[in-house]
A and B are shown apart, each in its own frame.
Chain A
Amino acid sequence: MADPSKPRPAFAPWDRRELPGAFGVEESARRVGNYKWIEMRLFEALGGWVATVPELDVKLRLGTHCYHHAWHAELWHKRLPELREMNPDRLTRPPNEALVAFVDAMTEPEAPELTIEKLVGVYRVLIPHTIAAYTYHLNNTSTITDAPTIRSLRFALQDELDDWRDGEMLLQSLIETEDEVDRAAAHQTRLEKLMLAAGGIAGPGSIGTTPVASEVTA
């Protein structure tokens, strides 16, 4: 029988969580505000596109994914006050004007024959960049102090990865000619350049920065 008076450490032997993490409260809040802003733009766009795509399977997936991103926006909205930001709207903003330009270009296609462009923008550019930024945050923030953000990141990442696969498979099923391959690639290139200018969904440093050689050896 276990001895109830025997002292045990606060951390179990297999628990290797450590302090500190790469982000302070303000930096985590800034990123979370950026995440909320982009998830809002994404769910709004997916909702708007539902009526513009004639392909029934795509229409229904967009409706489903619309909710996933709205829920992510809600998670980030609720996290902001916990990060000392009592006015969540203040930090609900893009990291820079370049990301606004990216979103404007991504949401530009409307005509029913532009389903490929709509899906490319979301599933070959925005969502991969979102996954990258969320993964960087997950891997670098403190697993102790920023645990609530990590929990939300994991939920969001699960959706993002599932939706990415859904969208990519829809695209592969829609692209049937070499011209369509070119169309998809051209649109992806255009949007990737805009995303490059933005530095990612949380601006420069969205997925960290590459250290210089001296830092690596040190």
Chain B
Amino acid sequence: MRKTLPVDDLARDERFVRVPFQARMSDPRQAGSGANRAAGRLTPDRPEAPDAARALMHGIFVGEIQALEGAGRTCWDFDTGAGRDQAPFELKLDMARQCWDEARHCEISVKLSDWMGTEIGEFSENTFLYEAACNPDPVLRLTGVNRALEGLAIDVFTTMREFGQVAGDPVLEYCEDWMLADEVTHVKMGSDWLRRLTATDPERQKQALEFQQVVDKLFSVGGFRGDDEESPVRLARRFRELAGFSVDEIDEIAEVSRQALEEAKAARARLAARTA
């Protein structure tokens, strides 16, 4: 088996439909894109809420599969050791633990998808999460995946848990709460390993944080996630702090999201003007 499996070789059965990142984000059925994004926070009283929640659930499911695959590849791709292109034994143990957690999240997501009335393949899959997990530096992998993408998962699960509370859906609320607990652990793993492995290497730490910023910015597209009421997914500040984010770091993500929201509004205004 090769080291570092290219994203195109990710194995899926025939139900899955893979599309490029850009195409998925511009798919009007996706929560946080198009009309849904403009409508603000995902709440049960909105007419398109059930479909948006199902789409978000499907997105969570495929994200969990890729998080499982990414953590598994980190166990395999690196020799054990302290070198820059190696992974310490304890880091691999953490990634193996994450494999188990993500496998459970996949199981939960499949059950929840049934419960919410959607099925595998109803919505598309983009593979950006796995792509972030292909970085040749294990620290950048953990920063991009565990801090940026699993950080986003904290925000998404918090939003979905609130959605379940407001909608009176105890099953959704229960499942999201359990997954949220695991995600806080995973983000904390990322924060801890970032600090541990770059304690004496500020350049590597800078690169890792820049990589995280790139990933965060991509997933803030259109202000999908942020502090604003208009953002479909709320930045879960308290849980991010538990997971090792400083207040400054959270503020920075909020600012990136706010900028993304403003850019999206301006783009929509330009489009409306051209159409008129």
**What residues of chain A have their CB less than 8 Å away from a CB belonging to chain B?**
40, 43-56, 59-64, 66-71, 73-74, 77, 107-110, 112
A73–B91 Cα distance when bound, in Å, is 13
A110–B1 Cα distance when bound, in Å, is 5
B96 contacts A51, C-beta separation under 8 Å:
no
From A52, A61, A70, give the contact of B92 (CB < 8 A). A70
Q: Nearest Cβ in chain B — how far from A198, in angstroms?
A: 20
Chain A residue with Cβ nearest B15 = A56
Q: Nearest Cβ in chain A — how far from B256, in angstroms?
A: 30
In this assembly, does B73 line the interface, its C-beta being within 8 Å of a C-beta of chain A?
A: yes
Q: Nearest Cβ in chain A — how far from B84, in angstroms?
A: 19
Complex interface: stretch among B101-109, B157-165, B214-222, B244-252: B101-109
Chain A residue with Cβ nearest B96 = A70
> What number of residue pairs across chains A and B have CB atoms under 8 A from each other?
111
B contact residues, total (Cβ < 8 Å): 34
From B1, B104, B120, give the contact of A52 (CB < 8 A). B1
A66–B97 Cα distance when bound, in Å, is 8
A53–B73 Cα distance when bound, in Å, is 13
From A53, A55, A73, A112, give the contact of B93 (CB < 8 A). A73
Q: Nearest Cβ in chain A — how far from B146, in angstroms?
A: 15
B107 contacts A46, C-beta separation under 8 Å:
no
For the complex with contacts A48-B72, A66-B96, 7 further pairs of A-B residues with Cβ separation under 8 Å are: A47-B99, A48-B1, A49-B72, A59-B11, A64-B103, A66-B72, A110-B5
From A50, A55, A112, give the contact of B72 (CB < 8 A). A50
With a CB–CB cut-off of 8 A, which chain B residues contact A73?
Answer: 89, 93
A44 contacts B75, C-beta separation under 8 Å:
yes
**What residues of chain B have their CB less than 8 Å away from a CB belonging to chain A?**
1-2, 5, 9-13, 65, 68-69, 71-77, 80, 89, 92-93, 95-97, 99-100, 102-104, 106-107, 120, 130
B1 contacts A47, C-beta separation under 8 Å:
no
From B92, B97, B103, give the contact of A44 (CB < 8 A). B92
From B10, B13, B95, B107, give the contact of A55 (CB < 8 A). B13
Q: Nearest Cβ in chain A — how far from B69, in angstroms?
A: 4
A67 contacts B9, C-beta separation under 8 Å:
no
Q: Given A48-B1, A63-B103, A110-B1, does the pair A70, B93 have CB atoms closer than 8 Å?
A: yes
- 7 CB < 8 A contacts A-B: A44-B92, A47-B96, A50-B73, A59-B68, A60-B106, A64-B100, A112-B11
B1 contacts A49, C-beta separation under 8 Å:
yes
B11 contacts A63, C-beta separation under 8 Å:
no
A40 contacts B11, C-beta separation under 8 Å:
no
The 8 closest A-B pairs by CB, nearest first: A48-B76, A47-B75, A70-B96, A47-B72, A63-B103, A67-B100, A50-B72, A51-B69
With a CB–CB cut-off of 8 A, which chain B residues contact A66?
Answer: 72, 75, 96, 99-100
A47 contacts B76, C-beta separation under 8 Å:
yes
From B13, B75, B130, give the contact of A70 (CB < 8 A). B75
B72 contacts A108, C-beta separation under 8 Å:
no
Q: Nearest Cβ in chain A — how far from B113, in angstroms?
A: 12
With a CB–CB cut-off of 8 A, which chain A residues contact B120?
Answer: 56
A51 contacts B11, C-beta separation under 8 Å:
yes
A70–B71 Cα distance when bound, in Å, is 13
A53–B9 Cα distance when bound, in Å, is 10
From B9, B13, B95, B107, give the contact of A47 (CB < 8 A). B95
A60–B71 Cα distance when bound, in Å, is 13
Chain B residue with Cβ nearest A61 = B103
A47–B100 Cα distance when bound, in Å, is 10
With a CB–CB cut-off of 8 A, which chain A residues contact B2?
Answer: 110
A47–B95 Cα distance when bound, in Å, is 9
B1 contacts A40, C-beta separation under 8 Å:
no
With a CB–CB cut-off of 8 A, which chain A residues contact B73?
Answer: 47-48, 50-51
Q: Given A66-B100, A73-B93, does the pair A52, B13 have CB atoms closer than 8 Å?
A: no
Q: Given A50-B99, A60-B106, A110-B2, does the pair A45, B11 have CB atoms closer than 8 Å?
A: no
